[in-house]
Amino acid sequence: MSTTPGSGGFTIPADMRAMLSKPEEYISSKNGGETLRKMYQAQSTSFNPNLLSHFALSCYLGIADEVKKLVSSGAAPDLTGHETAFHIGYVAFAVLGSQRVVSGPKSALHYLVLVRYLLECGASPDIPDVPVLYALQGRNVELLSLLIDHGADLTMKDANGDSFESLYVHHGANLTAAISQKIRKLTGEEGLMEDKNCANCHKRRERMKQCSACHTTMYCSTECQQSHWKAHKPSCNPFSGKNTVTLKLTYMPKSNYLEAVTVSSADVTQRLFGGVPDDGSKLKESVVKSTREASNKGMVIKIQAPVDTDTGAMLIYNKKRDFQCFLHRESCPAAYDEVLKVIRAHGPGRPRGLKAYFASYLKSKDELVVKASEVLAEQPF
């Protein structure tokens, strides 16, 4: 452990330094990266924020006014620089502090204001480290959105070839939906059913109506729907044979869900990081008991594809989780392959989509009609 001011307590032993001097391809998980990760974790236990510089400590504690004072007076270091043997940048210090510091004086914990100020003053959202990945581990949507707004590179890969673009889908449905919407907004796009307001008057009520043809456009009243039909008609993509696939479903009792092949990758990731899975992640036994009941259930569904295979069971459920089932390839190979192809191509988790949301309705208890021609915006479930 270093006791040198400005070190943060970090040191890099000779064996760790030797590994870091190798080309990037030699520090992937397959080539010593796991050993390097353990070394990093061991050295991280020596972190002492009191051994940071005054400026870095102010960033870590979220003391925005002090940081502004130092920058405006010319007393701050180069904002594109870094400190400690781990080469941590000032934006990263603030992001890391937002995850670790839970209390302090009134002048502290102003991380959003602080990070915005640093970025506006020229600090990089990417270099020398990748703050967006730190913010991702903490599932801090506000900080993530701020970094993305300021040009954070979401395609930058680590030694394993992983990037924010491929990782964020593993951190829960709420975060995935919010970040996907943010990314689309920057490119001027809008996902289907991203805006839940009335397509005509743009208001929102507790009970909204769907277009009975496409099931993806919302209205607050019959009057608004009739008034908007002329504008909506050219883009209305109805449920029809060419747009849909019919899936043959398998239901399982609650006691057997743990035996299923497909599990939530987001839940696994959060447990590995010591976090709490999204609310509603617990499976319930399906309550679709009859064909008559099933035929009335038009709904938005999530289809979760298997991670490491293209033949495993897919998990299907709605927001309330009062409908959930499995799709096995042997039940309907052509429909399975078509849905999987759409998920891989258009679902979040590039370059290999892991899930997607669709409009659907139950034709019978065991048959689900899915509009596979349109992938909906990521939903918070």
pLDDT in tens, 153-196: 999 887 777 889 888 988 989 999 999 999 998 888 889 999 88
Task: Please identify which residue in the block is written with the tokens 């010591």.
Answer: 274
115-147 pLDDT per residue, tens: 999 999 999 999 877 899 989 988 999 999 999
Bond into 125 cis (ω within 30): no
- Determine which helix (DSSP H) or strand (DSSP E) holds 298, and give its type and residue range: strand 298-304
d(C-alpha 92, C-alpha 179), whole Å: 19
207-238 pLDDT per residue, tens: 999 998 999 999 999 999 999 999 999 999 99
The answer to whether 95 and 134 are in contact (CB under 8 A) is yes
- pLDDT band with cut points at 50, 70 and 90 for residue 270: low
What's the pLDDT at 254? 54
- Max Cα–Cα distance, the chain, nearest Å: 74
CATH class in words for 52-185: mainly alpha
Bond into 277 cis (ω within 30): no
- Higher per-residue confidence, 185 vs 111: 111
2-23 pLDDT per residue, tens: 889 889 999 999 998 888 888 7
- pLDDT band with cut points at 50, 70 and 90 for residue 112: very high
Q: Read off the pLDDT of each residue in 103-123 and give the average, rounded to a whole number.
A: 97
- pLDDT band with cut points at 50, 70 and 90 for residue 255: low
Is residue 256 over pLDDT 60?
no
Instruction: Pull the structure tokens for residue 329.
Output: 């390839």
The answer to whether 244 and 369 are in contact (CB under 8 A) is yes
Mean per-residue pLDDT of the chain: 87
Q: Read off the pLDDT of each residue in 49-58 and give the average, rounded to a whole number.
A: 97
d(C-alpha 292, C-alpha 283), whole Å: 24
- Determine which helix (DSSP H) or strand (DSSP E) holds 126, and give its type and residue range: none
- Residue 98 is given by DSSP the state H
Q: Above pLDDT 90, what percent of the chain?
A: 62
d(C-alpha 342, C-alpha 39), whole Å: 41
pTM above 0.85, yes or no: no
Question: What does the domain layout of the chain look like in residue ranges?
Answer: 52-185, 193-238, 241-370
> What do you get for the CA distance between the two ends of the chain, in Å?
44
Is residue 352 over pLDDT 80?
yes
Nearest residue to 287 via CA among 381, 370, 215, 365: 365
The answer to whether 53 and 180 are in contact (CB under 8 A) is no
Is residue 244 over pLDDT 60?
yes
Reduce the DSSP state of residue 375 to 3 states and report it.
coil
Alpha helices in 54-104 (DSSP H): 54-61, 64-72, 90-100
d(C-alpha 125, C-alpha 89), whole Å: 9
Q: What share of the chain is helix, strand, coil (3-state, %, to 5)?
A: 40, 10, 45
296-344 pLDDT per residue, tens: 557 999 999 998 899 999 999 999 888 899 999 999 999 999 999 999 9
DSSP track, 315-326: EEEETTSSSEEE
Sheet strands (E) in 45-149: 82-83, 88-89
Q: Residue 77, class by beta-carbon neighbours within 10 Å (0-12 exposed, 13-18 middle, 19+ buried)?
A: middle
Q: Read off the pLDDT of each residue in 251-258 and give the average, rounded to a whole number.
A: 60
> Which residues, other chains included, contact 89 with Cβ-Cβ below 8 Å and sequence gap of 6+?
80, 81, 82, 123, 124, 127, 128, 129, 131
Q: Read off the pLDDT of each residue in 47-66 and give the average, rounded to a whole number.
A: 97
Beta-bridge partner residues of 327: 314
What's the pLDDT at 162? 84
Query: How far is the CA of 150 from the CAs of 91, 145, 154, in angstroms?
Result: 12, 9, 11
Report strand pairing: 367-370 vs 355-364.
antiparallel
Task: Please identify which residue in the block is written with the tokens 């959930």.
Answer: 324
What's the pLDDT at 258? 46
Q: Read off the pLDDT of each residue in 253-269 and give the average, rounded to a whole number.
A: 52
Bond into 128 cis (ω within 30): yes
- pLDDT band with cut points at 50, 70 and 90 for residue 275: low
What's the pLDDT at 3? 87
